[in-house]
A and B are shown apart, each in its own frame.
Chain A
Amino acid sequence: MRAPDDFRAQLEALRPYLLRYANLQLRDAASAEDAVQEALLAALAGQASFAGRANLRTWLTGILKHKIVDAIRRQAREPVVSAEADEELADFDDLFTERGHWNERPAAWGDPDGALEQAQFFRALETCLERLPSRTARVFMLREHLGLETGEICKELDITPTHCWVLLYRARMTLRECLQQTWFAK
């Protein structure tokens, strides 16, 4: 059995990682700090349930995911800034012609599976995610990272399914374009 101080130190060592993870999804430094703090407290209180598990980081990330969903629920009650709403609605006018065909055909991505082996690729992906409008990014991460169904996301964020699909579409198209430019074209 580990000494409690040792356990606490191990948790603390993971704080920077947890903060980065929370920031990526919450897009708000204060909420991210709060979520991480809550997760660390819950982990300390639940030390017994960790006993014997292999990976502290995985266990802690699992706790943090719940705190992030809670935080997004709280954020959903706050009004969206109108500038951001405008940004979300910006259309892909330069991507398609008036008749809806590609202006420039998407290029093939060489060896995407190889990219998944590289830490640098994930850095590039994080940078692209940071460029998304924050609500779009939150919806996208709830769906694609946390794996929530769109029905749940709509309910949590109080938006219509159609709106949800539009945000997800924009996120995917924007990220595709961003990765094309910052990673695959290099």
Chain B
Amino acid sequence: MKLLSCRETTRLVSQGLDRELAFGERVALRVHFAICLGCRRAARQMKFLRRAVRELPART
């Protein structure tokens, strides 16, 4: 199996929010996450962005 770089990982995480990932893609992500704290954080933050943007605009 091909190992993903962080650039490829973030790209795939983003696509995972827009389409269903293939089994192989999900496995590759999991392998990368196991060794990369930065990408785990980036993934969590992209999901958080989605929640925040749904609640726009500011109630002022």
Contacts and interface: CB of A to CB of B under 8 A. Distances in A.
A150 B52 contact: no
Chain A interface size range: 35 or more
Interface in A132-186: 140-141, 143-145, 147, 150, 161, 164-165, 168-169, 172-173, 175-176, 179
B49 A122 contact: no
A108 B44 CA distance: 10
A172 B48 contact: no
Given A102-B38, A105-B37, A108-B41, A165 B57 contact: no
A172 B58 contact: no
Given A109-B45, A172-B49, A173-B10, A126 B5 contact: no
Contacts of A120: 58
Contacts, number: 102
Interface of A: 17, 20-21, 24, 92, 96, 99-102, 105-109, 112, 115-116, 119-123, 125-126, 140-141, 143-145, 147, 150, 161, 164-165, 168-169, 172-173, 175-176, 179
- Nearest first, the 8 closest Cβ-Cβ pairs linking A and B are A100-B5, A122-B58, A105-B38, A100-B7, A169-B14, A144-B53, A106-B41, A102-B38
